[in-house]
Chains A and B, each alone.
Chain A
Amino acid sequence: MRLEPKPAPSLALTLLFPIAAIVATLLITSLLVLAAGASPLSVFYLVAKGAAGSQFALLETLTRATPLIFTGLAVAVAFRAKLWNIGAEAQLYVGGIVTVVLGTGALPLPSIILIPVIMLAVMLAGGLLLLGPAILKTRFGVDEVVTTLLLNFIVLLFVSMLLEGVLKDPMGLGWPQSQKVIAEAQLPRIIQGKRLHYGFVIAIVSAIVVWVIMKKTVLGYEMRAVGHNPEGARFVGIPVNRVLMKTALLSGGLAALAGFSEVSGLKGNLTLDLSPGYGYSGIVVAMLAMLNPLGVIASAIFVAGIFVGADAMSRVAKVPSYIADVMVATSLLTMVVAILLTRFRVRWR
């Protein structure tokens, strides 16, 4: 078997591949639905209905997509420069920590100043958390995959320590949770009485900003060059290490915003279950979007829809909601194969 490069595909073809990957995912996971003794068509219909079948469902999907847009962007930015940030989960929690540290009354400022201040601090903290592994990579040659993965466990234990210690809510009836952030630190709801909050708008704006950075600035160009060919980039005078540092700050900062937006916009406080793996799902979101920042919006909504829809489905059909996680993981693998097929033609001898 051989792989031969082929010319760059047209835009229509490029859009077709994610769809092909999703169809392949549905076919593969329908085997599991059959194993569960249900009909794939009705189960997938129930998932789709649960994700987008009503105003409530649709708003819920967009609410769930919000943190995924942030973590998806974080991964897209890092992977573009081949900085393998698998630590978005930890960066998200650090964002949550900073939000409750600054947002529970320490800074008595009006909303219009307080929220930007918190966001900046959150991004800085998340960025610094990824800067560590990035420096270990460039200085010592330590693989950042392992360090960022291990940091996920360390940070989660750190959060647990804070929630049972200095950040513990005295009125929390003993639960490991922080105090609620003050009203000035809360992101308002977009529609009164619904859960969708302005974090979603910030996520969309972030995606556009990241897109501009990646496509229109020198930094974006350098990041792509470093990701494409670090040796070549170094040869033409791009400061590879410095570009990786900047990438780490941006990527970690974006992931941390997911934690900020969940605390300030949705949950109000920090708990140990702030994220059901948004950091890891962000990898799938970024790959489904082929690392395109604007594509991240669409793929985050799609992945969120699977999770929200599967929750609704599993209440009706006897198929465990874990089918959503299987579908998301499968779509990651089908997608990388699909991307390969856009670039190469498989020749069987």
Chain B
Amino acid sequence: MDAFEILFTASFWVAAIRIASPLIFATMGELICERAGVLNLGIEGIMTAGAFAGWFTVYAGGDLWTGVLVAALAGAMFGLLHATLTVPLGLSQHVVGIGITLLATSLTYFIYRLALPEVTSPPKIEPFQPLPIPGLSKIPVLGEALFSQTPLTYLAFLTVAVVAWVLYRTPVGLAVRAAGENPSAVEAQGISVTGIRIGAVMVGSALMAVGGAFLTMSAFNSFFFEMINGRGWICIALVVFGSWRPGKALIGAILFAAFDAYQVRLQQMSGGIVPYQVFLMMPYALSILALILVARRATYPKALMIPYQKGER
């Protein structure tokens, strides 16, 4: 098979959608935070915490959906901590975000070692199984790619629809967007900017954590150190690439994942002529390239990273 034919195989697109799923959750999470005016650099650590929390819940005897819920709650708690420091206290979102990533990651590793002191290879769980949708999954290539995934992937796509609907079609969404563009206007409506922002960061962080949990509960069946491997930072690039719109960000995530799935296959075909590290670098390099391409015409939420103090202009 040559390098071009791969693009028309169902297995390639099934892999691409699977790789996209955690990115979709986390990108939606970051998007919500940023639309409300808060850059959440805790994403990488929150995904780590979510990956562990979901997996560990199932390992400890909970069912899979309980695991997803626990992951989301863990994410929301770190979101609350992030928001408390950055919203009412107005601390640097850069420093606090990195601090949350360091804290969530180290706390996860600490609890992992505490709970499983002796294990050398992490125990496995029974992860989410593919749930082909009758009929739809029989459509060649596209249907197989989209409709023979695990329930968590369907949830990822549903999340995009819900986020888009809430942001653009509901009063809450309007308040969130306004909190990121023109917070005084929100306050003038008698709505608390602080409350909206804290809520957005908590919900966003919960989604990031579910994105992490996808890795341990659907893509793989175990928790490893450093398994997030920069996916959080890539999602931040995807939010910019998607110009803060859920639909565009979804397309960006799928394109990115397709590229990632493609480089793995190219790597297998190259037969070791090109060092495998070159292929592994590509996703990160691609993210930087995407940022450069869109940066000039990127329209950031106007109040992004600007703390809001009531009664100040």
Chain A residues close to B by CB (< 8 Å): 1-3, 32, 35-36, 79, 84, 86, 136, 140-143, 145-147, 149-154, 157-158, 160-161, 164-165, 280, 283-284, 287, 318-320, 322-323, 325-326, 328-330, 332-333, 336-337, 340
Contact = CB atoms under 8 A, between A and B. Distances in A.
B281 to A, nearest CB: 5
A148 B116 CA distance: 34
Interface string B109-139: 1100110010000000000000000000000
A326 B285 CA distance: 31
B50 to A, nearest CB: 17
A288 to B, nearest CB: 12
Interface string B262-298: 0000000000000101101100110110011001101
A265 B178 CA distance: 54
Contacts of A84: 94
Give chain B's interface residue range (CB within 8 Å of chain A).
35 or more
A319 B277 CA distance: 36
Contacts of A149: 230, 233
Pick the 7 closest A-B CB pairs, nearest first: A325-B106, A320-B113, A329-B102, A161-B277, A329-B103, A322-B110, A332-B99
A140 B294 CA distance: 9
A326 B89 CA distance: 22
A154 B99 contact: no
Contacts of B88: 1
Interface in B124-179: none
Given A150-B284, A157-B277, A157-B280, A337 B291 contact: no
B292 A140 contact: yes
Nearest to B107: A326
15 contacts: A3-B90, A143-B240, A145-B41, A147-B288, A150-B237, A154-B284, A157-B277, A158-B277, A158-B281, A280-B98, A283-B102, A318-B117, A333-B85, A333-B103, A336-B96
Nearest to B44: A149
Given A154-B285, A320-B114, A336-B92, A147 B106 contact: no
B310 interface: yes
A84 B98 CA distance: 11
Contacts of A325: 102, 105-106, 109-110
Interface of B: 41, 81, 85, 88-92, 94-96, 98-100, 102-103, 105-107, 109-110, 113-114, 117, 229-230, 233-234, 236-237, 240, 275, 277-278, 280-281, 284-285, 287-288, 291-292, 295-296, 298, 309-310
Nearest to B91: A336
A165 to B, nearest CB: 6
B109 A333 contact: no
Give the residue among A2, A3, A142, A152 with the most B Cβ atoms within 10 A. Answer: A142
Give the residue among A146, A318, A337 with the most B Cβ atoms within 10 A. Answer: A146
A42 B105 CA distance: 25
Nearest to A159: B277
A154 B296 contact: no
A119 to B, nearest CB: 28
A146 B298 CA distance: 15
A167 B105 CA distance: 32
A41 to B, nearest CB: 19
Contacts of B230: 149-150, 152-153
Contact of A329 (B41, B106, B117): B106
Given A150-B230, A325-B106, A326-B106, A340 B91 contact: yes
Contact of B110 (A161, A284, A326, A336): A326
Contact of B114 (A36, A79, A160): A36
B284 A142 contact: no
A143 B288 CA distance: 10
A336 B236 contact: no
A36 B102 CA distance: 20
Contacts of A329: 99, 102-103, 105-107
Given A142-B292, A158-B277, A340 B236 contact: no
B110 A323 contact: yes
B298 A141 contact: yes
